[in-house]
Amino acid sequence: MVRAIVGANWGDEGKGKITDMLSKESDIIVRFQGGANAGHTIVNDYGKFALHTLPSGVFYSHTTSILGNGVALNIPVLFQEIKEVVGRGVPQPKILVSDRAQMVMPYHILLDAYEEERLAGKSFGSTKSGIAPFYSDKYAKIGFQVSELFGSEETLRDKVDQVCEMKNVLIEHLYHKPALEPEKIFQELMSYKEMVAPYVCDVSAYLYQALKEGKEILLEGQLGSLKDPDHGIYPMVTSSPTLAGYGAIGAGIPPYEIQKIITVVKAYSSAVGAGAFVSEIFGAEADELRKRGGDGGEYGATTGRPRRMGWFDTVASKYGCRIQGTTDVAFTVLDVLGYLDEIPVCTGYEIDGEVTTEFPVTSRLERAKPVLEVLPGWKCDIRGIRKYEDLPENCRRYVEFVEEKIGFPITMVSNGPGREDIIYRNR
């Protein structure tokens, strides 16, 4: 069976922890989109890790971790991460890289930084990992596939020359920066070839066979529904689809094989980067939630940037779950809210004097004001509780209120960062 784990919101919902947990009963974990621009934080017996490129299954020796064709493959980052986890005592993970995955080129990272600098105050808040220039080139058909490293060197050299000629127009005349040197880039690619060679694989053929053998496969999404380029808060989105549906394409499996879509929803909101965020809070209230949030505060796993904070948003989450095709909701980081006397929840958007519970397009979203309902807090620490019935009544009320508003079953409640901090609910 294939299960997908995806986010309903702006990312950072705790997908890494859920994937790590479900990896135990899986054979294969596949990253199908995105790159080293976002990170998963995972806490397990080996310690605390921030993974940016490696799938979250790398900590189990029985799993195979795959980087599918849909990812933005940053080879040096991948190798740095493998080195780091192995260096900290994790057994050498079994990793496969799709021969159809495309590579983040050194100039993608440069162009990302140059463009952010040019836009200055109007920037997208990019992590400068080269993701937007990477996906632009992929669809402009000037990207580089891993398979090209293993073809004719002459052809590769010619293509590097061609692409550099084009990039240099921008670099020299728009950004006023030093021109790219094609030979240097070619040599860099040769070093990538050496690094990636042991892992390259025809991933869709591998997964086809695995499915025939009845293997358990997990697709691991990055970011969340609201960062999807089509269905999210365009243009403040990421550059690859964040939806489970794309899992079929980015891994190379038939769409009908994805039987479970586990959408991760966090018990409050956080976001990084610019863009409308209706339930956002500020000042001391936000600082307190940020400080207490997640495991050690709500700061970017890749950048260390403080995240923007907000109350739970049922409008955004209902939409985020629907657009993913959710079969199960994993409701995470509930333990963090135990300090609050009262917990506001955003249950509607007021736009031009009318209240809606349907998530609008960006131009309307920017005018939306939150409609808040206030629920009583439970004022205690719920970590360590393993049975739903043992949660305080007000805590269960909060979960059930959210479930009713979003309209998808919450089958898992996460009450701590560790693998064992999970409460299953039979719905």
Catalytic positions, written as ranges: 12, 40
Q: How far is the CB of 394 from ligand GDP (least distance, A)?
A: 18
Q: Which is nearer to ligand GDP, 46 or 166 (CB)?
A: 46
**Counting contacts by CB under 6 A, is residue 310 touching ligand GDP?**
no
d(CA 84, CA 49): 9
Q: How far is the CB of 397 from ligand GDP (least distance, A)?
A: 18
Name which of 11, 51, 8, 14 is nearest 31 in CA terms.
51
**Counting contacts by CB under 6 A, is residue 415 touching ligand GDP?**
yes
- Of 6, 8, 11, 399, which lies in the binding site for ligand GDP, with binding defined by CB under 6 A? 11
Name which of 18, 3, 2 is nearest 266 in CA terms.
18
Q: How far is the CB of 134 from ligand GDP (least distance, A)?
A: 19
Name which of 172, 165, 163 is nearest 138 in CA terms.
163
Q: Percent helix, strand, coil in the chain (nearest 5)?
A: 40, 25, 40
x/- letters, 286..305, toward ligand GDP (CB under 6 A): --------xx-----x----
Q: Which is nearer to ligand GDP, 181 or 400 (CB)?
A: 400
List the 269-271 sheet strands across, edge first.
269-271, 308-310, 280-281
Q: Which is nearer to ligand GDP, 95 or 423 (CB)?
A: 423
Name which of 337, 324, 329, 223 is nearest 271 in CA terms.
223
- Of 22, 265, 414, 419, which lies in the binding site for ligand GDP, with binding defined by CB under 6 A? 414
Structure tokens at 322: 């629907």
Q: How do beta strands 40-44 and 47-51 pair?
A: antiparallel
Q: Which is nearer to ligand GDP, 143 or 416 (CB)?
A: 416
* Site size for ligand GDP (CB under 6 A): 25
The stretch among 38-46, 117-125, 231-239, 389-397 that binds ligand GDP (CB under 6 A) is 38-46
Q: What is the largest CA-CA distance in the chain?
A: 69
Residues whose CB is less than 8 angstroms from the CB of residue 180 and which lie 6 or more positions away in sequence, other chains included: 107, 164, 167, 168, 171
Q: Which is nearer to ligand GDP, 156 or 271 (CB)?
A: 271
Residues whose CB is less than 8 angstroms from the CB of residue 158 and which lie 6 or more positions away in sequence, other chains included: none
d(CA 88, CA 93): 12
Q: How far is the CB of 305 from ligand GDP (least distance, A)?
A: 12
Structure tokens at 10: 């702006």
The residue count for the chain: 427
x/- letters, 323..362, toward ligand GDP (CB under 6 A): ---------xx-xx--------------------------
**Counting contacts by CB under 6 A, is residue 419 touching ligand GDP?**
no
Q: How far is the CB of 395 from ligand GDP (least distance, A)?
A: 13
Q: How far is the CB of 4 from ligand GDP (least distance, A)?
A: 13
* Coil, helix or strand at residue 298: coil
Contact residues toward ligand GDP (CB under 6 A) are 7, 11-17, 38-41, 43, 294-295, 301, 332-333, 335-336, 414-417, 421
